[in-house]
Amino acid sequence: MSKMNITIDGKNIEVDSNSTILEACKKLNIIIPTLCHLDLHDLKMVNKSASCRICVVEVEGRNNLVTACSTPVADGMVVNTHNIRVMNARKTVLELMLSDHPAECLSCSKGGNCDLQHMAERFGMREIRVTGKSQSTYRKDKTVSIRRNLDKCIMCRRCETMCNEVQSVGALSAINRGFDAVVAPTFEVNLHDSVCTFCGQCVQVCPVGALTETDRSWEVIEALANPRKTVVVETAPAVRVALGEEFGYEPGTNVTGKMVSAFRQLGFDYVFDTNFAADLTIMEEATELLERIKRLKSGEKDVNLPMLTSCCPAWVAFIETQFPELLDIPSSVKSPQQILGIIAKTYFAEKINVDRKDMVVVSVMPCLAKKYEAGIESFKEDGNPDVDIVLSTREFAQLIKLSNIDFNSLENEDFDNPLGESSGAGAIFGTTGGVIEAATRTAVEWITGESLDNVDYKSMRGEEGIRIANLKVKDLEINIGIANGLGSARELLEEIQAGNPRNLHAIEIMACPQGCIDGGGQPYHHGNIDIIKKRKQAIYEVDGKKTIRKSHENPSIQKLYKEYLGEPLGEKSHKLLHREYDKKERV
Amino acid sequence: MPNKIKVNLNSSHFQELDSFIDGLETTEGELISILHKAQSIFGYLPKEVQIHIAKRVNVPVSRVYGVVSFYSYFTMKPKGKYHISVCTGTACFVRGADAVLRDFEEELEIKSGETTKDGLFSLDSLRCVGACALAPVVLINEDVYGKEDAKKVKEIIQKYMKINSEG
CATH number of the domain enclosing A81? 3.10.20.740
Which residues of A are less than 8 Å from B47 in CB distance? 187, 587
Q: Which residue from A minimizes the CA distance to B51?
A: A587
Chain B residues with beta carbon closer than 8 angstroms to that of A587: 47, 51, 61-62
- The closest alpha carbon to A207, from A115, A100, A117, A98, belongs to A115
Give the whole-angstrom CA distance, residue A207 versus residue A526.
8
> What does A195-256 look like in DSSP terms, one character per residue?
S-----HHHHH-SSTTEEE---HHHHHHHHH-TT-EEEEEE-TTTTTTGGGGGTPPTT---H
Q: Which percentage of chain B shows pLDDT scores above 70?
A: 95
What distance in Å separates residue B76's CA from the closest CA in chain A?
10
Q: Give the separation between CA B13 and CA A350, rounded to whole angstroms.
A: 63
Q: How far is A304 from chain B (nearest CA, A)?
A: 27
Amino acid at A150: L
B100-104, B134-138, B150-154, range with the lowest pLDDT: B150-154
pLDDT in tens, A266-310: 999 999 999 999 999 999 999 999 999 999 999 999 999 999 999
User: Over pLDDT 90: what percentage of chain A?
Assistant: 93
Whether A170 sits inside 8 A of B47 (CB atoms) is no
Residues of chain B found within 8 Å of residue A185, distances taken between Cβ atoms = 62
ipTM of this predicted structure: 0.86
Q: Which of A169, A171, A176 is nearest residue B69 as measured by Cβ atoms? A: A176
Instruction: Supply the range of the domain harboring residue A37.
Output: 3-99
Helix (H, G, I), strand (E, B) or coil at A270: strand
Res A478: pLDDT: 95
Say how far apart CA A530 and CA B61 lie, in whole Å: 34
Number of domains observed in the structure of chain A: 1
Q: What is the pLDDT of residues A323-358, one digit of tens each?
A: 999 999 999 999 999 999 999 999 999 999 999 999
Contacts for A318 with CB less than 8 Å, ≥ 6 apart: A169, A197, A486, A489, A511
pLDDT of residue A54: 97
Q: Of B47, B63, B70, which is closest to A177 when you measure between CB atoms?
A: B70
- Say if strands A506-510 and A476-484 run parallel, antiparallel, or are unpaired: parallel
Closest CA to B105 of B157, B148, B58: B157
Say how far apart CA A274 and CA B91 lie, in whole Å. 68
What type of residue is A402? L
Of A174, A176, A186, the CB nearest to B61: A186
For residues A427 and A539, is the Cβ–Cβ distance under 8 A? yes
Query: Which segments of chain A have a pLDDT < 70?
Result: 132-136
Do the domain assignments include residue A119? no
pLDDT of residue A430: 97
B115: left (phi over 0), alpha (psi -120 to 50) or beta: beta
Selected from 2.70.150.10, 3.40.50.720, 3.40.30.10, 3.40.190.10, the CATH number assigned to the domain covering B82-165 reads 3.40.30.10
Q: Which residues of A331-345 are buried (b: 16+ CB within 10 A; e: fewer)?
A: bbbbbbbbbbbbbbb
Q: How far apart are the first and last CA of chain A?
A: 43
Closest of A203, A205, A185, A187 to residue A195, by C-alpha: A185
Q: Which residues of A touch B66 (CB under 8 A)?
A: 173-175
Within 13 Å and on the Cβ side, how many CA atoms surround A199?
Answer: 38
pLDDT band at B3 (very low <50, low <70, confident <90, very high): very low
Interface contact B70-A173, CB threshold 8 A: no
Residue A138: per-residue pLDDT: 84
Which helix (H) or strand (E) segment is B13 a member of?
Answer: helix B11-22
Instruction: Give the one of A169, A174, A587 whose C-beta lies nearest to B66's C-beta.
Output: A174
Nearest CA in chain A to B71: A176
| Average pLDDT of the residues in B97-121 | 93
Interatomic CA distance for residues A56 and A212, integer angstroms: 29
Q: Do A177 and B66 touch (CB under 8 A)?
A: no
The span from the CA of A434 to the CA of A440, in Å, is 10
Note whether B61 contacts A587, CB cutoff 8 Å. yes
Beta-bridge mates of residue A3: A16
Q: How far apart are CA A339 and CA A572, in angstroms?
A: 13
Interchain contact, B62 vs A185, CB within 8 Å = yes
Q: Distance (Å, rounded) from C-alpha A206 to C-alpha A156? A: 8
